[in-house]
Structure 1
Amino acid sequence: MGLRTRPIGFGYFKTKFNDKVLQDEQDVGTCELLQDSKVRIIISQEPEKSNLLRLEEAPLIKRIELLFHMEHSSIPMSLEVDVSDTIGKLKERIQSIESIPVNRLVLSFLGNELNNRSTIHECGLHHQTHIEVSIRASPPAAASTASGSNAGSKKLKLLVLPRCGTKKIPVEVNASDNVGELRKQLPILQEKLRFSLPSNGYFFIHKQSVMDDKRSFRWHHVNQGDTIEIFNGWVTRGS
């Protein structure tokens, strides 16, 4: 019936009929309310303890669904979250799905950026709230370092082919490293990935050219994703 004690502008009220307090769970028939029945409305400044207990025991919504609009997608991403989760934790979940660094993620609601330390509840986010997700540009310092004096240490992800027809082995080297550094890595990778190296010596071939262990990968014009082949034997260079 919706007639139990509840706040109004100047206090709390409850309803009585035949000296009995009417409860929300009861309908008109149960209460025996007939045409022209008189119902008393009693107003008080404080709610009854029983009603306070009811309000305190009412279940709170703890999990809600939020909709995230990524700047590179027209379809929002839906996540079920706990209202006590922080914005920082939300970013970590998005990072695990989208593989975007957490420090570059920006979550905004109604045009305002959300603070990492604030909880979903504190930000006033409700069920199916729409949140804008944008990606912050890389720091200028990082960009200048990549194009500056440290550019020589650029990482190259390469593939090594131990023998024709075998599985290629992924390796990572610096562009400025000498090819001999790859020879040092291979025995370590051999133990982990269990592939065979020629026991009687070997040399490296890149794009059908023999590689000099004392020259850098950059000198040999090795690019990202290139394959380096291993051949049995030794290369003898004249003086």
Structure 2
Amino acid sequence: MRIVITTRINQFFLDVGAQESVVEIKRKIEQIHGVPVALQILTVSGWELVDGLDMEDYPIITEGTKIDLTIKPVEPHHSNHYNNKMQIVVKFSARRINIEVDQTDTVRSLKEKIHIIDSTSIKRMTLYFLGTELNDDFKNLNEYGIREFSEIIVYLKNMNRSREEPPSRKVSLVVQTSSSLLNGATIPLEMRDANTVNDLKQLLLSRKILPIDDYLFIHRQRIMRDSCSLRWHGVENGDRLYVFKGTVSRGAFV
């Protein structure tokens, strides 16, 4: 399909495939227009596109969609920033993946990158490096001595037993529609964090807040799974969920 990349001063067309990732599109822009991938921010309706996702993960992007390109300013005193980039190995019980990180990334941001690439629940992850648990989400990787090609071991907590789940609690959230849906309405709701995304969808339909249609919800730039709870997605009090018409067109979640 053909999309439109817009900047502050001009716009240009770009042919992309449904399974092309955001970072691959950035590489195309770099090849054609010379803007380094690391300096590019791509957004749709103000939402930044995540490098690890592809076009099929964003059903809102169709033929002719305009994607805004913002170029990060280059700050001379951070000239060594890109030298902090490094490859590490993330090892599960039966597989391993390579991930590019920054030495100043936190443990939490590493978990988020693993989640984007592997769809593993952040709340199930326990990370170890050289036998030491990375138990402080706010610590930088370099504070744990993690360097180029370091191997991080991922253990997955068993979340099936009810005694391991904290009690359900109420959360106040805001559902934000797109400009093409109810003119960008803001809908405040209160639900229990054990409710699933499908429960939320059915509530909005039963109250006739949304017209009968297929919808997908996005939380912190990630498409939410219908069958998973708000707690599983990390929804907290005051969080904003964005709703679009559409469905996930392939098995984006494994």
Q: If the length of structure 2 is used for normalisation, what is the TM-score?
A: 0.34
- Compare relative contact order (CA 8 Å, sep 6+) and give the higher one, 1 or 2: 2
Q: Which has the larger radius of gyration?
A: 1
Q: If the length of structure 1 is used for normalisation, what is the TM-score?
A: 0.36
